[in-house]
Structure 1
Amino acid sequence: MTNISNAFKNKKAFIGFVVACDPNFEKSIDYVKTLADAGTDVIEIGVPFSDPIADGPVIQEAGLRAFKNGVSTKRVFEMVAKIREKTTVPLVLLVYLNNIFKYGYDKFFSACQQLNINGVIIPDLPVEERSEVAVFAKKADCSLIPLVAPTSGNRIKKIVAGTDGFVYAVSSLGVTGARDRITTDLDTMVSNIKRFTDAPIAVGFGIHSPEQAVEIAKTADGVIVGSAIVKIIAQEGTHAEEKLIDYVSNMKKALKQPETNRI
């Protein structure tokens, strides 16, 4: 069982997301520790990219702030090294393929192994091209986290094959960002994914409220929150700790409610 899988053991996992070097290098380190200490089970760290096809406005703006702060793939690894001095929370990088290619596949995943980065999400890596990256990830004992969209259909089996971390189920078409309503039939979607994998399934894209978390966790194994956390950091700047702790606490309470454990 991987570190990531352990985060789902006997509970519904709360997965939080931050953008590296937002609002700055030091505070992004502090905020990862804040989220971990508040009970976040897995933390995704976004590596900013110039053409982030999956990111909505809130995360795009955070990426622009990070670029002003001199973010780079190398700088992200330096940040993770500092984080690992403070917490053992499972970490996942969300990174676009060009960043990995430019850094070098072997060099990138070797750094992941050295820093105990437990998984990588690559939004623009189609399953047909995954093998060229998978060999390096496997060598580094780093899980490749697949994304399943509402339109994945008969490709789901191929997409989730060999998954040993968790499956990222995309709740809505489009880009990231808080949504008041999730119109996808998530019960059916999660059930379809479970036909082909025993890996935990976490739902993301648009999730931001405790009420949504309760509903989603009735069938899924965890929820992923990105834009709502990044928005708190955007609003609070270098003084976001209290708001982040409150937010995580409310989401964790929601995931512990009896109705989320019906499956």
Structure 2
Amino acid sequence: MMKENRIKNKLQEDILPAGKAGKLLSIYFTAGYPNLEDTVPIIHELEKAGVDMVEIGLPFSDPLADGPTIQESSTTALRNGMTTELLFEQLKDVRSSVTIPLIIMGYFNPVLQYGVEKFCKKCAEIGIDGLILPDLPLDVYLEKYESIYKKYGLINVFLITPQTSEKRIRAIDNASDGFIYMVSSASTTGAKSGFGKEQMEYFQRIASLSLANPQIVGFGISNAETFQAATAKAKGAIIGSTFIKHLTQNGVHKIADFIQEIR
């Protein structure tokens, strides 16, 4: 019998009446950056600082959806020697000290190279709760891999953008079993100074669809103001590029300061 999934449990926490749901803060960082051995210390610091969920980026040589900050961190991490095998080795004891949900985010190619079932089995063994692979198509997932994910208790997180049709959003909602990653704009990742009228209308439009799965907004969230705006209609928000910039400038030991500023 599979253990309950930590992502699902976390999404059900803090549900208050009259739409005052607790807002989740998820942080993305690239494994093996700034230094090869920083992966687990960063996760520890994030949990201590009160982050709700962590997305561990598996670096890839051709990260199409990522802006320059995340691309650079990926390049550095690969140069540092980060591999899929090494990431699993680094994370093998992470559950002895970390309780929050952990998600691996990356591209499908390294997972395919490793072997999809082998990858999912390894994730289950070390306590990974879900995967975000933006380039794994919905139909391919449903046809070939859904049963493997379910076998190992992993949640697959799909992305939607302002351009995604309602029909496809409904199909994604139907295939989801955790949250939907709501990309705030059609550009690559990266911090923005704020959200425009179009984005706020998009947030409202998705909220009005009354989807079965909560949405967590990513791309363009960089400070308390954009976090508040992104979570006005959604369950939570994800910060990546701005956090990586903070790591680049301040290293692992100032993580709590960054999280306090967002909260």
Pairwise same-fold verdict (TM > 0.5): yes
**1:168 is matched with which residue?**
181
**2:217 is matched with which residue?**
203
CA deviations over 1:141-167 (Å, ceiling 9, x no partner): 000001011100231111221312211
- 1:48-197 maps to which residues of 2 (within 5 A)? 48-131=59-142, 132-154=144-166, 155-183=168-196, 184-189=198-203, 191-192=205-206, 195=209, 197=211
Is this contact kept in 2: 1:18–1:230, CA < 8 A?
A: yes
Distance across 1 between alignment mates of 2:200 and 2:94? 34
Identity, in percent, stands at: 33
Pair 1:234 & 2:213 matched: no
**245 and 61 in structure 1: CA distance in 2 versus 1, 3 angstrom threshold:** same
Number of equivalent positions: 249
Unaligned runs of 5+ in 2: 15-21
Please tell me the residue identity of whatever aligns with 1:94: M
Unaligned runs of 5+ in 1: 253-263
Please tell me the residue identity of whatever aligns with 2:258: Y
**Partner SS, residue 32 of structure 1:** helix
| TM-score normalised by structure 1 residue count | 0.89
**2:19 is matched with which residue?**
none
- 1:21-36 maps to which residues of 2 (within 5 A)? 21-36=32-47
Pair 1:3 & 2:17 matched: no
CA deviations over 1:75-101 (Å, ceiling 9, x no partner): 111122243332122100002111111
Is this contact kept in 2: 1:232–1:240, CA < 8 A?
A: no
**133 and 214 in structure 1: CA distance in 2 versus 1, 3 angstrom threshold:** same
Is this contact kept in 2: 1:172–1:182, CA < 8 A?
A: no
**Partner SS, residue 175 of structure 2:** coil
Comparing 74-83 with 61-70, greater Cα deviation is found at 74-83
Is this contact kept in 1: 2:106–2:132, CA < 8 A?
A: yes
Is this contact kept in 2: 1:77–1:111, CA < 8 A?
A: yes
